[in-house]
Amino acid sequence: MPTISQTYDIKASVEKVWQALTDPKIINDWGGGPATMDEQEGSEFKLWGGSIHGRNTKVIINQKLVQDWYSDDWPEPSVCIIELAPNGDRTTLKLTHENVPSEEQEKIADGWRSFYFGPLQELVEVK
């Protein structure tokens, strides 16, 4: 199964980007809600009211978030790895999304840009 890799240069602190990834109130603000999310390893999450759901499998606060992701009727999870690194007054965000169903790869890659990190970036860069 394919892997999606994307990198974003976000004009905000690592802490602010991390909060936008893990605080359900901020997730709702950038459009990923209604959301259930926290920064606890082993906790379950839901985005877009549960259409995306899974579990936080590894959490290093302000650095790395690894999640098992399910969508609709996927029989097994994909693995989403989000890594943050400070770059001056900016944050470099690296996404690696593994085990993506082949028939959905293009749609999911676009979804990351259009519905997840694009709106997240726009929100944290403005506030």
The tens digit of pLDDT for each residue in 31-48 reads: 999 999 999 999 999 999
Taking a C-beta distance cutoff of 8 angstroms, is the pair 80, 71 a contact? no
Q: Which of the residues in the chain have pLDDT under 70?
A: 127
Q: Does domain 4-126 have CATH number 3.30.530.20?
A: yes
Q: Measuring CA to CA, which residue among 106, 72, 81 is closest to residue 21?
A: 81
CA angle 77, 81, 85 (to 5 degrees): 170
At residue 32, φ and ψ (nearest 5 deg) are -90, 10
Q: How many CA atoms lie within 13 A of 32 on its CB side?
A: 29
Give the global pTM. Answer: 0.95
- Four-point Cα dihedral 110, 18, 56, 120, nearest 10: -30
pLDDT computed for residue 127 by the predictor: 59
Q: How many CB atoms lie within 10 A of CB 100?
A: 22
14 and 86 Cβ atoms separated by less than 8 Å = yes
